[in-house]
């Protein structure tokens, strides 16, 4: 297994399933009160260029539950000193680095120049920790046979969708993106993930086509962090793509509703949908803890 967690494409299908199995075990042990101090005395540095609730808390709590510590750096990389120099400093003190950055290249540079594991906690391009946790939730609700599932992602072809496409390039999930024209995913990521896809990866502007037979309907904010200036324009463009009861009715009757959170209630999703019994958004948030502990313990042990 590679030493960093930056993109799901860096892992084999067996390695991804192994991480999901490990996350499941850690969750079960935690619920049973069994301590697992797999990272006793180890320290994780957490770099945040962008806001966070879930990622920040779950990495910090995860390190605590693994017997280690997390230290926080709120900064903009590349301004006070070069990213390679940040990496060369951190590797002298800590056993792992977690980074949430704007530029994906900055996480790649940290990984290149630090001898300790680097974990991608969201960049403008990818959000692999989210999708690992989400896959764990899907397994809990629908079993581990992803080939029997269709996930319809409604909204922007953004970092969260990109990581779903990378997941579908490794495990046989059927993925459909329903987006407004002009908001398709990165063409390079789409071409590569489609070439390697184990299931199907469909991109459509047609809501009925995208939602047809979907077992899970996923959405995310219309303007991601860093796109705040576009928020008003996007609000108009994306409004036909709001996940509301009428849209959910186009999917399977028992379709799950998923969202990485934070949600903009009344924009990309209505209260009725996010608060419905089919919504598993807080299960997703819960599993961020367990999935990331599996990543941390796998990369930082030894």
Indicate if the alpha-carbon torsion angle 24, 25, 31, 37 is positive or negative.
Answer: negative
Kindly give the residue spans of alpha helices, DSSP state H, lying in 127-206. Answer: 128-142, 159-168, 187-196
* Contact string (CB under 6 A) for ligand NVA, positions 68-107, x = contact: ----------------------------------------
* Out of 260, 273, 274, 285, the residue judged to bind ligand NVA by CB under 6 A: 260
* Contact string (CB under 6 A) for ligand CP, positions 28-57, x = contact: ------------------------xxxx--
Q: Smallest distance, Å, CB 239 to ligand CP? A: 23
224 binds, among ligand NVA, ligand CP, none (CB under 5 to 8 A by kind): ligand NVA
106, 127, 162, 290: which is the annotated catalytic residue?
A: 127
For residue 93, the tally of other CB atoms under 10 A from its CB is 10
Q: Does residue 74 touch ligand CP according to CB under 6 A? A: no
Catalytic: 220? yes
In three-state secondary structure terms, 205 is: coil
In whole angstroms, give the CA distance from residue 217 to residue 198: 20
Indicate if the alpha-carbon torsion angle 79, 46, 121, 155 is positive or negative.
Answer: negative
Catalytic: 130? yes
In whole angstroms, give the CA distance from residue 228 to residue 254: 34
* Contact string (CB under 6 A) for ligand NVA, positions 149-188, x = contact: ---------xxx----------------------------
Q: What DSSP designation does 240 have?
A: G
Q: How far is CA 299 from CA 245, 250, 276, in A?
A: 42, 41, 37
* Out of 23, 168, 260, 297, the residue judged to bind ligand CP by CB under 6 A: 260
> How is residue 171 written in tokens?
């495990």
Please give the size of the binding site for ligand CP, defined by CB under 6 A. Answer: 9
In three-state secondary structure terms, 84 is: helix
Catalytic: 288? yes
Q: Smallest distance, Å, CB 73 to ligand CP? A: 16
Beta pairing partners, 258: 218
For ligand NVA, the binding residues (CB under 6 A) are 122, 158-160, 220-221, 224-225, 260
Active site residues: 100, 127, 130, 220, 260, 288
């Amino acid at each position: 297994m590679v030493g960093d967690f930056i993109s799901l494409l860096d892992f084999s299908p067996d390695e991804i399933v192994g991480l999901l199995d490990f996350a499941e075990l850690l969750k079960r042990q935690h619920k049973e009160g069994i301590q697992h101090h797999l990272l006793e005395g180890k320290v994780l540095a957490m770099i945040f260029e962008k806001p966070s609730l879930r990622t920040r808390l779950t990495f910090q709590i995860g390190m605590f539950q693994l017997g280690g510590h997390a230290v926080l750096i709120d900064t903009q990389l590349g301004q006070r000193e070069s990213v390679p120099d940040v990496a060369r400093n951190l590797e002298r003190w800590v056993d792992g680095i977690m980074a949430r950055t704007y530029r994906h290249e900055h996480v790649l540079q940290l990984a290149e120049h630090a001898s300790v594991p680097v974990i991608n906690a969201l960049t403008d391009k990818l959000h692999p920790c989210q999708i690992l946790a989400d896959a764990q939730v899907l397994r809990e609700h629908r079993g581990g046979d992803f080939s029997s599932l269709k996930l319809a992602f409604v909204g922007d072809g953004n970092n969260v969708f990109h990581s779903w496409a990378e997941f579908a390039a490794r495990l046989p999930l059927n993925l459909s993106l329903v987006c407004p024209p002009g908001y398709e995913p990165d063409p390079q990521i789409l071409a590569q993930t489609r070439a390697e896809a184990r299931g199907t990866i469909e991109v459509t502007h047609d809501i009925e086509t995208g939602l047809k037979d979907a077992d899970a309907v996923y959405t995310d904010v219309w303007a991601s962090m860093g796109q705040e200036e576009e928020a008003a324009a996007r609000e108009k463009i994306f409004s036909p793509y709001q996940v509301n009861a009428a849209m959910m009715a186009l999917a399977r009757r028992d379709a799950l509703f998923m969202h990485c959170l934070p949600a903009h209630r009344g924009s990309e999703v209505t209260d009725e949908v996010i608060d419905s019994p089919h919504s598993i958004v807080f299960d997703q948030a819960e599993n961020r803890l367990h999935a990331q502990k599996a990543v941390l313990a796998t990369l930082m042990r030894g």
